[in-house]
Amino acid sequence: MQVNNLILGPEEEMDFLPIIPLNEGGQEDGQELTVPATIPLLPLRNTVLFPGVVIPITVGRDKSIKAVQDAYKSDKLIGVVAQKDSNIEDPGTADLVQIGTVAKIVKLIKMPDGGTTIIIQGKVRFRIDAITEEEPYFKAAITTLQDEQAPADEDFNAYVANIKELAAQIIQLSPNIPAEAGIILRNIENPAFLIHFVSSNLNTDINEKQQLLETGPLRQRADLLMQLLQKELQFAELRNKVTAKTRTELDKQQREYFLQQQLKSIKEELGGDTNAQEIREMQKKAEQKKWPETAKIAFQKGVEKLERMHPSTPDYSVVYNHLDLMLDLPWEAYTTDLYDLKKALATLDKDHYGMKRIKERILEHLAVLKLKGDMKSPILCFVGPPGIGKTSLGKSIANALGRKYVRLSLGGLHDESEIRGHRKTYIGAMPGRILQSIRKVQSSNPVMILDEIDKIGNDFRGDPSSALLEVLDPEQNSSFYDNYLELEYDLSKVLFIATANNLQGIQPALRDRLEIIDLSGYAVEEKVEIAKRHLIPKQKELHGLKSTPICFTDKLVERIIQDYTRESGVRELDRQIASIMRYEARELVLKAKVKPSLGPAVLEKILGKSRYSNDLYKTASIPGVAVGLAWTYVGGDILFIEASSCEGKGELKLTGNLGNVMKESATTALTYLQTNAKKYKMDPSLFTQQNIHIHVPEGAVPKDGPSAGITMMTAISSVLTGRKVKSYLAMTGEITLRGQVLPVGGIKEKVLAAKRSGIKEIILCAQNEKDVQEIEPGFIKGVKFHYVKTMGQVMEIALV
């Protein structure tokens, strides 16, 4: 059958591409085809050519172009073979299949872009006997494989009729195939060519097409083709079913929704196994996971539940996220502790100067771990003023132990769910921050810093500090229950380190679970060392002056500390050093040089006039003025107690924003002096004829506490007796109506504040002597301490 036109279409748009033959019998003008024994080969990537079928081919490889051109110039015959792997750009002999088709080049077209397109018609099958040449293109010795005559029995005719019927049904179900294809199909009379034509245009894998070509007997080829057509027909019917199912919803939603529905219908037809891949991955991870039996059972139940759910249901993501958390948690994954105590101490000393007590406590913990191999971690709490390195010390401890480090900021936390997690049924539910942190560091024994534990909020939304009771109890935290996880998790190996500025802000039950380690402020000598070892090198590097010679003498650093800072920590000192570095950096850029050493004049030019002066605290020139020592959350401080008297009726007036406890101390001091007036050679009538006014300067700052008791009594007795208080003297202590002096807290901070302010003598309760002995002797050199038990001793020392 001769057809003068060629119907072509883009392969990606057509499911069944009818390519019309020029001659059904594979002969032209009735002449027999003469095939030479050696023939050029044209490898094709994704195409199998069948005898009698005409196809267009775009030739791109240099080898192939050369082969086509040479063949076109001679007998126009070329051997077409398929590649085993279509991804190979330059195939070798081993990459070619052994059975192909001899093709005649019907037309060679030079394209405008420089490419070459040929139209070829398959003639006869052949087998490669040997590759005779590989350059400039493949040539092979071949043996032609002649097809047998079509069987004339009824069975084979039924095969042919069935093939036509199946192909017609596929064309009818495929809207992209033109209707003319069905007419052409019905008019093909040659059974062998019908099989080749349908096989060529079958939408199936190239390997299956190659199998069709290699199948020898025509009856077997027809049988295999029918199986493939049946599969193609089922796929076309299923595709039509999916399309019909979603067509009614097309007008309601956008194109994306349409595609989602199609995907949903396809997955339903596959049996609803929509999440099989995700579940398989989870199960694979679970097999390698080391976790408790309870967690393993809970995970298995969750997976079984997930398998029964469709991904579009709201609960699917809830269950999936819960299982994902279980897989991510490091249930029994621990880092190995470093038991080298000397190395651990060296690490701690390198990062922080001083802090001897904390370092000893960490080394003790390490020593026990080394001997016993396992123990519950202590719950430490570092209490001290801001800026002394509590938080950074936690990181240093983690480095010394060889553990992971994670910090949890508790300041302002007001929701109990932040600790224990939310119930997973709520929208936006998450595990608590404890488990989130452990999930993040992937270790069940990290060093966890609970920063600012004294600043946890407490309101109608919950009490997080009560939730921490379970976390920070070594007897309970081995079975910590998170509301989201709904399983017990072992926190007993976690080394919790809490930090706080004020113990009063921690509720008593929580405070009872903590091992309190007090961190007092730094002495001037300590600050000088910290500046030289850490702050100055750090600021030089931050300001690009690492290699610039800038000398900070001890006296210069000491002057910066005393004249420009009043703090227990070193943050303000760090800022002042940064100011100096910025000035030096500007000088270096503008003048290309810097002064290697700084003097007082340059320091004043950079930082301005001295912000603080010790002269104010050194002397009290009139009677009635005494110097007290106070503790604040930022460290120790000095304060004046001023008393004056005037004619009146014996009333006591208190000003200076004093709290109730401090007011009661003033009343107690006045009552004691009135009771013991004769003993201290005072006129008893003064207490009924004179009004006494006590004032504490800096009235905007609230003040409270019993520690100013002896200072108030000294100021009152000074104004009533007219005797001045000794210069360079400060004092702190609580008093009783019996005249006893009681101990107070915060001694180290108060003593260091006195030393910073130039005080030379300090009066303390005798029971506070042990607190002074804990202070490094070098830090309080030049300060004389008077330890007293009664108010009589205080007055004897203080009044001149």
Q: Which residues carry out catalysis?
A: 707, 750
Half-sphere exposure for 161 (CA within 13 Å, toward CB): 6
Backbone dihedral angles phi then psi of residue 567, each to the nearest 5 degrees: -155, 160
* DSSP per position, 664-683: HHHHHHHHHHHHTTTTTT--
The alpha carbon dihedral of 497, 538, 565, 781 has a sign of: positive
Structure tokens at 745: 């807290």
Distance from C-alpha of 472 to C-alpha of 492, rounded to nearest angstrom: 9
Of all helices (H) and strands (E), which one includes residue 636? strand 635-647
How far apart CA 618 and CA 1 sit, in angstroms, is 124
CA distance 311 to 278: 11
Burial class (CB in 10 A: 0-12, 13-18, 19+), 153: exposed
- Residues 6+ away with beta carbon under 8 Å from 570: 387, 388, 389, 522, 527, 530, 531, 535
How many beta carbons lie within 10 A of that of residue 20, not counting itself?
A: 18
CA 257/CA 146 separation, integer angstroms: 54
**DSSP state, 551?**
B
**What is the rounded CA–CA span in Å between residue 522 and residue 355?**
10
- How would you classify the pairing of strands 38-44 and 139-145? antiparallel
3-state DSSP assignment of residue 4: coil
Phi first, then psi, for residue 731 (nearest 5°) are -155, 155
Question: What residues contact residue 717 under an 8 Å CB cut-off, 6+ apart?
Answer: 673, 680, 682, 723, 795, 799
Phi/psi at 671 (5° precision): -65, -40
Residue 101 · residue 80 · CB < 8 Å:
yes
Give 609's DSSP letter: S
Is the distance from CB of 439 to CB of 328 less than 8 angstroms? Answer: yes
User: What letters, b where the CB count within 10 A reaches 16 and e where it falls short, cover 75-90?
Assistant: eebbbbbbbeeeeeee
Rounded distance between C-alpha atoms, residue 574 and residue 366, angstroms:
33
What is the per-residue DSSP string for 294-352?
HHHHHHHHHHHHHHTS-TTSHHHHHHHHHHHHHHHS-TT--PPPP--HHHHHHHHHHH-
Tokens 């038990």 -> residue: 789
Closest of 376, 440, 444, 385 to residue 408, by C-alpha: 440
Strand partners, 638: 629
Question: Is 447 in contact with 382 (CB distance < 8 Å)?
Answer: no
